[in-house]
Amino acid sequence: MNLRLCRYTRPGGEPRPGILEGDDWIADLSSAGISTLTSLLEDRDPAGVVRSVLKPSLPRLARNQVQLLAPVEQQEVWAAGVTYVRSRSARMEESEFSATAYGKVYEAERPELFFKALAHKVVSPGGAVGLRRDSRWTVPEPELALVLNSRCEITGYTLGNDMSARDIEGENLLYLPQAKIYTGSCALGPAIVLGTVESQARQWTIELEIWRASQLVFKGGTSVDRIKRSFHELAEFLGRSQQFSFGAVLLTGTGIVPPGDFALAAGDRVRILGSEIGCLENEVMIV
């Protein structure tokens, strides 16, 4: 059974680490002396530590009585682009001036990596992701995210929503930071899967659903195994000439892109479903 590490809070309480058990319960790791996600993820065997303390006597809380938080504390969030054939095609289609660059980076030795968010700006499960007021064409990008410790070693996996203003990015490649980094542009969760190697994670699937006024207006899916680059390669490039004292989260790119005539609207609900990880659901609002 996969261990799903989460971060949660109770009304008026401080954030605590826990383990999601099924859909209804959370085991409180703070009662076993584990006070933060970061301290656990820095251990050489986080899954082993959790298994050693995950006993029937550990307090359990009903999930409907707590608020799940994004599973980050002080980690920076970064992202890799053009790692799927579908994302390469979409980036080339949206950009008249930058299509050649996107085609080349897919084949290049060096991946595209860019900064996405500080931990305190990451949207939690159930929170609101943002639409830029000056964008007419924004879409969600559902992605597997690598959770890295301070040594840039992969310690787990979670789900991410890399919200992207495609019209701004398509206008000029140099506008990428404005298309990718703004209030509500990154959501993570609901949990970090521990104790899984890359070969197992590559068997997972990711699905995207977009709901509008109780109607399903888009649905798509992909396999994690369609990511061209190895996870180790992406993590190694991110760690070059970088220091992450608290670790980092690295989004691995998207293989699901809504059609060119589709744009998110305020009030939409975005649901990203990852096998073994769970469901990351967020409402959309204008920021």
Give the tens place of pLDDT for each residue, 176-191.
999 999 999 999 999 9
Helix, strand and coil percent figures for the chain, each rounded to 5:
25, 35, 40
Residue 209: partners with Cβ closer than 8 Å, 6 or more residues away: 216, 218, 219, 270, 271, 273
Are 237 and 110 in contact by the 8 Å Cβ rule? The answer is yes
Give the tens place of pLDDT for each residue, 19-72.
999 989 999 999 999 999 999 999 999 999 999 999 999 999 999 999 999 999
17, 51, 191 from 20: Cα distances, Å:
10, 13, 8
Q: Structure pTM?
A: 0.94
Low-confidence residues of the chain, pLDDT below 50? none
9, 17, 58, 60, 66 from 14: Cα distances, Å:
6, 10, 18, 16, 11
For residue 88, what pLDDT is reported?
52
Are 251 and 116 in contact by the 8 Å Cβ rule? The answer is yes
CA angle, 90 as apex, 220 and 154 as ends, to 5°? 70
